[in-house]
Amino acid sequence: MRKWYEENIHLGILIVTILLVIVGLISIYSATYDAGSSDYFYRQIAWAGIGFLLMFVIMLIPFRTLQLISYPVYIISIFVLIGVLILGKTVAGSTSWFGVGKLGLQPSEIVKTTSILALAVYLSDKRLNLSRLMTVFKASGFVYVPMLLILLQPDLGTAVIYLGMLLPVMYWAGTSALLMITVIAPSLVAVAALFGTTSFFIVIFILLVALFLMKENKLISALIFSLSVLVGVSVQFIYGKLAVYQQKRIDTFLNPENDPLSAGYNVIQAKVAIGSGGFFGKGFLEGSQTQLNFIPAQWTDFIYCVPAEEFGFLGALFILTLFAYLLYRGTNLASTVKSRYASIVGIGVVSVFASHIVINIGMVMGIMPVIGVPLPFLSYGGSFLLTSLSLIGLLLNIYANRKEY
């Protein structure tokens, strides 16, 4: 029995997952303790129980069966996304939910899993030529279709995660660096242009150096560079033509401190909470920012402030260490597994977790825009917890079948 357990269960990934869920439950309990919202804590416990059950079910699905059902479950999930636009429940201006009362299911979270599986099946085909632009466009379609449906809800935060998953997966599968730059460069330059002329020129210079060092086709490199510059200049031109109130919205999005009583309020309070925790923290249920409810609905996207304030730098570092271990083990598993399909699925899972972690902690610390991205295993949310644990189920499945081709 012990030999089977050691051969089929990745203890490290399982233990880290359990620890992160426990930290999340403790943080949600603290955040809701004096907010009159303790029912969120009990609901999260129920979701955690269901999620762990789902995780083990996915882990035990025969590997070949998982491959065979990847396309069908993806197609079904796309129809579900279309259905939520027609029949879904609107919450905070976004029609993203199926549900009654306070109970709901967010399909856009679950589709992350099905998108990874479908994309992995397509990219694992040895007949593909990933140096062709048309192949890259077809592969990208597996992510762009659900992403566009999610943008229609609208839910920018979740849509960004899909993009954050696509690029690493495509690179891991073997897409050329030049094609990756073709996809990424215009977007990066456009964002840099919004931050100002200095940022724009820095990114343009980095792009120029990268293209020079790659020593690819000079004509294609020149077209990529020209297109990126054109996009950046266009963004600055369009920004200059916007009304003052529209420019203010963009400025606040990029720098919340410009609007401290509205859009920037949560970020400012979050930074106060993290800073006030010091090295050892104020103690469990002793965080003033948390217990006095300075941050509305802190148990959702801004949950990281709770352990950072109550357990200080050590508590925040402990959580980051757990996440770092999970990402490292996932990447290591993806690089050593025999099956190409499993390898792509593994890096897809790691990319989703990494995108969530970087964006969430970045926006809580005020170094990234607030776009409504939750923190895996810690933030309250049934659909998100189910998705996170199902992704862990995929990693455990890959580990159990790591010797199969």
Cα–Cα distance, 99 to 120 (Å, whole number): 31
Mind listing the pLDDT tens digit for each residue in 95-109? 776 765 566 778 888
**Domain positions in the chain:** 2-175+242-400
What pLDDT shows up at residue 62?
87
* This prediction's pTM: 0.85
What pLDDT shows up at residue 264?
67
Banded model confidence at residue 287, pLDDT cuts 50, 70, 90: confident
With H, G, I as helix, E, B as strand and everything else as coil, classify residue 38: coil
What pLDDT shows up at residue 17?
97
Cα–Cα distance, 95 to 75 (Å, whole number): 20
Residue matched to tokens 């849509």: 159
Structure tokens at 41: 């804590």
What pLDDT shows up at residue 15?
95
| Dihedrals phi, psi of 90, to nearest 5 degrees | -90, 125
Alpha helices, DSSP H, located in 277-381: 288-291, 305-310, 312-336, 340-364
Per-residue pLDDT averaged across 60-89, rounded?
Answer: 89
Per-residue pLDDT averaged across 133-158, rounded?
Answer: 83
* Partners of 91 in beta bridges: 94
Give burial (CB, 10 Å; 0-12/13-18/19+) of 222: exposed
Cα–Cα distance, 119 to 141 (Å, whole number): 9
Give burial (CB, 10 Å; 0-12/13-18/19+) of 71: middle
What pLDDT shows up at residue 26?
93
Per-residue pLDDT averaged across 63-74, rounded?
Answer: 91
Nearest in space to 360 (alpha carbons), one of 302, 289, 318: 302
Calculate the CA dihedral of residues 68, 71, 77, 79 and round it to 10 degrees: -130
Alpha helices, DSSP H, located in 61-176: 63-87, 107-123, 133-151, 156-173
